[in-house]
Amino acid sequence: MTLFEFIRKHQDIDELTVWDKDYDVEIYFYPDCVNPADEWDEAMREIAKKLTIVAEDWNKGVTVNLSEVIKGNLNNGAFEDLFIYNNLKSIMADIENIFAGYVSEKWMLDFARSLK
């Protein structure tokens, strides 16, 4: 099941904690991504559609394949323009800040649309 499908199924949640399966990363998704009101929500929706849930603890959150998806996109052409250091370790070191909003809505949407 994708993260998007999970969120759509559980729209009564206020906030969903999401962890990566390989890196110590904790990010948050909200039901707003199902019906996006702005570019940020749209980006989160697109990202949620690309992530597969590998484990869930409904009381706490879900674990997804975020680092695997990023690794698969390192050579997609867009990452070279989006990241200063286009390697998995550097991106995953910054990913919590990215999802926390330390990038613009446009940047986040470009990132989301670059994922395959």
Domain segments of the chain: what residues? 3-114
The residues, any chain, with a CB within 8 Å of residue 97's CB and separated by 6 or more, are: none
- CB atoms near residue 17 (< 10 Å): 14
Average pLDDT, the chain: 95
Asked if pLDDT for residue 98 goes beyond 80, the answer is yes
pTM: 0.94
pLDDT tens per residue across span 2-37: 999 999 999 888 999 999 999 999 999 999 999 999
**What pLDDT sits at residue 11?**
86
Residues written for the chain: 116
Confidence of residue 102 (pLDDT cuts 50, 70, 90): very high
Higher pLDDT, 57 or 103: 103
